[in-house]
């Protein structure tokens, strides 16, 4: 059953001080609304007060700074897709943004909303893990910066406190000489929630792996960095035996479950296959 509209209140917010006041009163942020409106339509959005954060300039925009790129929480997938620096330095963010929902969702859905949701099937977290991003959380007490690896704690659980907003994600443009790979496996090409997805980057010299970072989504309660596969591959030359062993070791990094979208068995085999596709492409 749909949510009953009079149970909800949505107000606008002009500045951060006002936003922190609303958080203190238990109101919840509303960015693009692409997740919130679905929950309301499904009748599972808690009744209460929400405030629109879209005018908060401190959370907006993509800024190219001296040694890093700041991706404002309010940046949309379309902003990410069209940004020249992101295209050059972080191509899998662009690839994943292109596959989020379809154009209407890409125009409204935000980076901050995707992260705050803490869904294991969200498309950006695996990319942020391999690019070793940091995340800025802002409250009336100031800004705190965490490694992105510290942010997701479990299924729909994150490190964000009720008095905080996601302000931005910080990325260092230091992966120009890496291979970048993104693959989302779903039931169809658009409007698909993934059964598994991989974000991976690697630096390879004469077939030898000098650095590698691999993360999967939709196969655990949070997106996961595959540290066991990474440490096995580091320093190795890519042969068919090494690739086969990497696929076996992947079973120690991810243990996907059955759910409405897929079986754990299918997810594992598909994940091993996309890992093989990545490794064959860089060797």
Ligand X SMILES: Cc1cc2nc3c(=O)[nH]c(=O)nc-3n(C[C@H](O)[C@H](O)[C@H](O)COP(=O)(O)OP(=O)(O)OC[C@H]3O[C@@H](n4cnc5c(N)ncnc54)[C@H](O)[C@@H]3O)c2cc1C
Q: Which residues bind ligand X (CB under 6 A)?
A: 28-36, 38, 53, 59, 73, 100-101, 105, 108-110, 112-114, 116-117, 122-123, 165-166, 191
**Smaller CB distance to ligand X: residue 13 or 34?**
34
Report in angstroms how near the CB of residue 45 gets to ligand X at its nearest.
Answer: 9
Report in angstroms how near the CB of residue 117 gets to ligand X at its nearest.
Answer: 5
Residue nearest to ligand X (CB): 113
Report in angstroms how near the CB of residue 275 gets to ligand X at its nearest.
Answer: 21
HEC readout, the chain: CCCCHHHEEEEECCCHHHHHHHHHCCCEEECCCCCHHHHHHCCCCCCEEEEECCCCHHHCCEEECCCCEEEECCCEHHHHHHCHHHHHHCHHHHHHHHHCCCHHHHHHCEHHHHHHCCCCCCCHHHHHHHCCCEEEEEECCEEEEEEHHHCEEECCEECCCCCCEEEEEEECCCCCCCEEEEEEECCCCCCCCCCEEEEEEEEEECCEEEEEEEEEECCCCCCEECHHHHHHHCCCECCHHHHHHHHHHHHHHCCCCCECCECHHHHHHHHHHHHHHHHHHHC
**Smaller CB distance to ligand X: residue 46 or 235?**
46
Report in angstroms how near the CB of residue 63 gets to ligand X at its nearest.
Answer: 16
**Smaller CB distance to ligand X: residue 16 or 238?**
16
**Smaller CB distance to ligand X: residue 192 or 242?**
192
């Amino acid at each position: 059953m749909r949510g009953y509209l009079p149970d909800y209140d949505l107000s606008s917010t002009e500045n951060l001080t006002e936003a922190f006041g609303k958080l203190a009163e238990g109101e919840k942020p509303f960015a693009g609304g692409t997740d919130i409106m679905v929950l309301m339509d499904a009748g599972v959005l808690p009744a209460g007060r929400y405030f629109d954060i879209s005018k908060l300039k401190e959370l907006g925009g993509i800024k190219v700074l001296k040694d890093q790129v700041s991706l404002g929480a309010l940046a949309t997938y379309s902003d990410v897709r069209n940004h020249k620096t992101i295209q050059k330095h972080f191509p899998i963010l662009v690839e994943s943004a292109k596959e989020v929902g379809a154009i209407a969702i890409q125009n409204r859905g935000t980076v901050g909303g995707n992260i705050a949701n803490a869904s294991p099937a969200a498309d950006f977290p695996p990319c942020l893990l391999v690019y070793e991003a940091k995340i800025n959380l802002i409250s009336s007490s100031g800004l705190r910066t965490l490694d992105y690896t510290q942010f997701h704690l479990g299924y729909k659980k994150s490190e964000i406190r009720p008095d905080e907003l996601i302000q931005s994600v910080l990325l260092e443009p230091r992966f120009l000489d890496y291979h970048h790979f993104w693959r989302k496996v779903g039931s169809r090409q658009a409007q698909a929630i993934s059964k598994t997805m991989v974000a991976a980057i690697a630096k390879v010299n004469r077939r030898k792996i000098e650095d590698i970072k691999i993360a999967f989504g939709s196969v655990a309660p949070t997106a996961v960095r595959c540290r066991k596969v990474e440490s096995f591959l580091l320093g190795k030359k890519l042969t068919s035996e090494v690739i086969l062993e990497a696929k076996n070791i992947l079973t120690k990094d991810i243990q996907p479950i059955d759910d409405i979208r897929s079986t754990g068995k299918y997810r594992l085999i598909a994940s091993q296959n996309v890992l093989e596709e990545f490794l064959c492409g860089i060797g």
